[in-house]
Amino acid sequence: MIATKAIAAALFSVVALAMPVPAQEDGLAPRAEAAGLTDMSEDTRLRFDDMRHGTHTRQEVDIVSALGLTWGEPALRDLLASFDLPADTPPDVSDGYAYLQNPSLGIEITFKSADELAHWVPPRAYPKDALVLINIRIYGEASETFTPFAGDLPFGLRFADSRQSLLAKLGACAWEADFMPQLRWDRNGYALFVRLSDTDTISRVAVNLPVGPKLRSKRGP
């Protein structure tokens, strides 16, 4: 399972390197309109009900500030605890990627080895052996693996949003895939990816480390 997902991430990656793209899609996004740098809501918090241990707690997690955390950092341990994910033993790395999932919550997070971050823009320098959190995905459609996330999405989004309402809320996107219904908005410090369903509503939301200029084509989680 991990190996299959790692291959998929390498091919389509949250968010093929050989595909040529126009200059404005080189990851630098020189024009504000092309980059989707509109007045996007800055509410980067994920909200959901935590019913563990027989109590009801309302969780609020800033998923953007979590990007770039490394395994073992206290802030990452807090994030993992909020998502009810294991924090004692790091996940296995396969092809440079490692994954943790809470299928019942509809959450998946991706780590990458610090020495393989050339295609992204990390917020700081890391030791070579660090395991860096690069992506957080929230699933809105039921699958064999995931239950749909039942809480509140960041940026004022809703899974019921259509493409039209999505663009009305976030403005023009920086890039749209031609091989799947996926869009990306570039912001200072992160990239926002949205995957659309067959009914043209949101099926997945992901925040990722910013796409770097070394990518010749765009990858999405």
| pLDDT tens, position by position, 113-159 | 999 998 899 999 999 999 999 999 999 999 999 999 999 999 999 99
**CB-facing half-sphere around the CA of 217: CA atoms within 13 A:** 14
Check pLDDT > 70 for residue 9: no
What average pLDDT does this structure show over 5-13? 40
Residue 214: predicted pLDDT: 66
C-alpha Rg value of the chain to the nearest Å: 17
The alpha carbon dihedral of 113, 117, 120, 121 has a sign of positive
Residue 42: predicted pLDDT: 76
Confidence tier at 217 by pLDDT (50, 70, 90): low
Give residues with Cβ within 8 angstroms of 83, minimum separation 6: 61, 100, 102, 105, 107, 109
The alpha carbon dihedral of 178, 183, 186, 190 has a sign of negative
Residue 38: predicted pLDDT: 40
Residue 99: predicted pLDDT: 98
> Can you tell me which residue has the tokens 């992160």?
190
Tokens of 74: 């206290």
Among 5-9, 14-18, 206-210, the minimum mean pLDDT is found in 14-18
Cβ(217)–Cβ(119) below 8 Å = no
Tokens of 99: 């994954």
Residue 182: predicted pLDDT: 96
Residue 54 phi/psi, 5° resolution? 75, 15
Residue 5: predicted pLDDT: 42
Q: What is the dihedral of CA 145, 151, 156, 159, to 10 degrees?
A: 40
Check pLDDT > 80 for residue 81: yes
Tokens of 52: 């563990």
Query: Which among 115, 97, 107, 165 has a CA at the least distance from the CA of 136?
Result: 107
What average pLDDT does this structure show over 49-74? 92
* Intra-chain end-to-end CA distance of the chain, in Å: 16
More confident site: 41 or 79: 79
